Amino acid sequence: MTRLVLVLGDQLSPNLSALREGDRGRDVVVMAEVTGEAKTLPHHPKKVAFLFAAMRKFAAGLREDGWKVAYATLDDPGNSQSIAGELLRRAEEHGAEEVLATEPGDWRLISDLEDLPIPVHQFADDRFLCSHERFESWAKGRKSLRMEYFYREMRKATGLMMDGDKPAGGKWNYDHDNRKPPDEGIGVAGPLRFAPDAVVEEVLSLVEAEFDDHFGNPRPFWFATDREQALDQLAHWVAKGLPTFGDYQDAMVEGEPFLSHSVLSLYLNAGLLDPREVCAAVEKAWRDGKAPINAAEGFIRQVIGWREYVRGIYFLQGPDYVSRNELDHRRDLPELFWGGETRMNCLGQTIAQTRDEAYAHHIQRLMITGNFALLAGIAPRQVHDWYLAVYADAFDWVMAANTIGMSQFADGGIVASKPYVSSGSYIDRMSDYCAGCAYDVKQKTGEGACPFNLLYWDFLDRHRDRLEQNHRMGLIYGAWDRMDPGKRDTIKAESADWLRAMADGKPV
């Protein structure tokens, strides 16, 4: 009996569990480019082009490996434009009565597969290092689910950067060495740029025609779109970027979107690279004396710590997690997030970079766009959907805890021990954005005052009942209380005026 083997756009791995369960001699692999996924949100054209091109190349590789592949391009006249619809179409076409699938990283797709009128066997996605069962066991009975403690368990389990049962260098975490502000000596490795081949060019033409109303453009396009290219980028970054990655991973520099960041997340999250091989390459560079320990540990923590942790939270908390809104934030996402005019240079730079590259590094996401959205009281689901749409590495399983938890504190503290908010002083210290801004980062109130300064204190005042008892915020509220009452009133009034102007669509 013929079975269908489903391969999704973020499952482009030869060792995928569904493929291992399949039989080349009788089964049919189903892959499809569908508007039901690509247009559910206004996904960045570069993201769509990356996934479609990588899918087409992966399908070609499967055929070369002896698989029969039923592939639907977006413009296929018979395309039903949904994953469920394509499975039903191919089941009728090939007389299949059963589907083999690797569990999707999206509750919506999991539900769609469960609702099909034919049996679907969903196998664990064991490309990740921590199974659902293992994460649930770790989380059970804990008062708090802090990533740092999970990370230590993953270090022990994987043996990465371990000396026996002790952490390499005697410390679990070298993050205190990874917060240097930008200076003239900052490394700018930048990713490899791959010229589009015939497959990519065909996809780019399709995306230009079908997604011309989405935020951003598909060209110029330089992403890796197959495993060989992704491995080239891994080797390039380990040699050129890793040595300075640790020191400056939190820095932000105008006109330098990549600095020493790896830009490997989109290749990892699409399945072109395996987290084990990436971390092994980084550890080897450190052990060979080609990268400092703070750089290697900091990167490995992002992969086996944070990446595995946010996936664990997503599945542990369930389908309603992305709808949580513990701070009851209800303002709409302002037009400036879609390229509307703004006088704030840090936001303008980060969003323009996002539009151009479908990429921003983690501090730009957390402390520029995320910080602003939290301070301004933007509805967290809208923030989540924006991140999911505009970044090439974004999928539901990875974005939910990053946005709902870490960035927007909308889960009430499951992920973060306190809200990640700051005034303009942090942005000024970690970037050169403030020098070119229409606002004065040193000014707290009055004409030209940095909006982050106003919104920071206003946010804390609005949520005092909820946040004051947080042991990490007592000193901050003490500073607010010592402030002149007249100044506090001015901050609240000017913040309200500024937010009203933003809501009215005025350039801010």
Is residue 309 domain-shared with residue 174, that is, in the same domain? yes
Is 40 a residue whose pLDDT tops 80?
yes
Q: Which two tokens stand for residue 309?
A: 């942790």
From 123, 152, 180, give the residue that closes a domain: 123
Which range marks the domain in which residue 167 is found?
A: 132-190+241-316
Q: What are the pLDDT digits (tens) for 60-96?
A: 999 999 999 999 999 999 999 999 999 999 999 999 9
Is 33 a residue whose pLDDT tops 90?
yes
Q: How far apart are CA 221 and CA 448, in angstroms?
A: 38
Q: How far apart are CA 51 and CA 205, in angstroms?
A: 14
> Among candidates 332, 323, 322, 325, which has minimal Cα distance to 378?
332
* Amino acid symbol at 164: G
Is residue 51 domain-shared with residue 158, that is, in the same domain? no
Identify whether the C-beta of residue 423 lies closer than 8 Å to the C-beta of residue 456.
yes
Is residue 407 domain-shared with residue 494, that is, in the same domain? yes
Q: How far apart are CA 490 and CA 197, in angstroms?
A: 58
Q: What is the mean pLDDT of residues 21-50?
A: 97
Does the bond joining 191 to the residue before it have cis omega, within 30 degrees of 0? no
Is residue 117 domain-shared with residue 144, that is, in the same domain? no
From 281, 316, 351, give the residue that closes a domain: 316
Is residue 476 domain-shared with residue 347, that is, in the same domain? yes
Q: What is the mean pLDDT of residues 362-379?
A: 98
- DSSP per position, 265-310: HHHHHHTSS-HHHHHHHHHHHHHTTSS-HHHHHHHHIIIIIIIHHH
Q: What is the mean pLDDT of residues 200-213?
A: 98
Is residue 250 domain-shared with residue 149, that is, in the same domain? yes
Is 157 a residue whose pLDDT tops 90?
yes
Backbone angles phi, psi at 440, to 5 degrees: -100, 115
Per-residue pLDDT band for 177 (boundaries 50, 70, 90) equals confident
Is 415 a residue whose pLDDT tops 80?
yes
Q: Is residue 323 part of a domain?
A: no
HEC profile of 205-238: HHHHHHCCCCCCCCCCCCCCCCHHHHHHHHHHHH
Is residue 497 domain-shared with residue 415, that is, in the same domain? yes
Q: Is residue 272 part of a domain?
A: yes
Backbone angles phi, psi at 99, to 5 degrees: -125, 135
CATH code of the domain in which 383 resides:
1.10.579.10
Q: Is residue 221 part of a domain?
A: no
> Is 44 strand, coil or helix?
coil
Question: What's the pLDDT at 185?
Answer: 65
Q: Is residue 202 part of a domain?
A: no
Per-residue pLDDT band for 179 (boundaries 50, 70, 90) equals confident
183 or 363: which leads in pLDDT: 363
Q: Is residue 478 part of a domain?
A: yes
Q: How far apart are CA 40 and CA 478, in angstroms?
A: 45
Is residue 147 domain-shared with residue 113, that is, in the same domain? no
Q: Is residue 195 part of a domain?
A: no
Mention every residue, 6+ apart, whose C-beta is less than 8 A from residue 237.
Answer: 189, 191, 262, 263, 264
- Residues of the chain above pLDDT 70, percent: 99
Give the chain's mean pLDDT. 97
Q: What is the mean pLDDT of residues 355-365?
A: 98
Q: How far apart are CA 117 and CA 88, in angstroms?
A: 9
Question: What's the pLDDT at 188?
Answer: 80
CATH code of the domain in which 73 resides:
3.40.50.620
Q: Is residue 208 part of a domain?
A: no
Q: For 194, left (φ over 0), alpha (ψ -120 to 50), or beta? A: beta
Q: What is the mean pLDDT of residues 331-337?
A: 97
From 123, 155, 174, give the residue that closes a domain: 123
CATH code of the domain in which 246 resides:
1.25.40.80
192 or 472: which leads in pLDDT: 192
Q: Is residue 227 part of a domain?
A: no
DSSP-derived pairing of the beta strands 120-123 and 166-167: unpaired
Q: What are the pLDDT digits (tens) for 265-303?
A: 999 999 999 999 999 999 999 999 999 999 999 999 999
Q: How far apart are CA 101 and CA 120, in angstroms?
A: 7
Is residue 307 domain-shared with residue 362, that is, in the same domain? no
Per-residue pLDDT band for 183 (boundaries 50, 70, 90) equals confident
Residue recorded with tokens 């099909």:
116
Give me the sign of the Cα torsion angle 125, 130, 135, 136. positive
Strands ordered across the beta sheet of 28-32: 68-72, 28-32, 4-6, 99-102, 120-123
Question: What's the pLDDT at 425?
Answer: 97
Number of domains in the chain: 3
Is residue 294 domain-shared with residue 348, that is, in the same domain? no
Is residue 156 domain-shared with residue 74, that is, in the same domain? no
Residues facing residue 123 across a β-bridge = 102
Q: How far apart are CA 47 and CA 152, in angstroms?
A: 33
Is residue 142 domain-shared with residue 44, that is, in the same domain? no
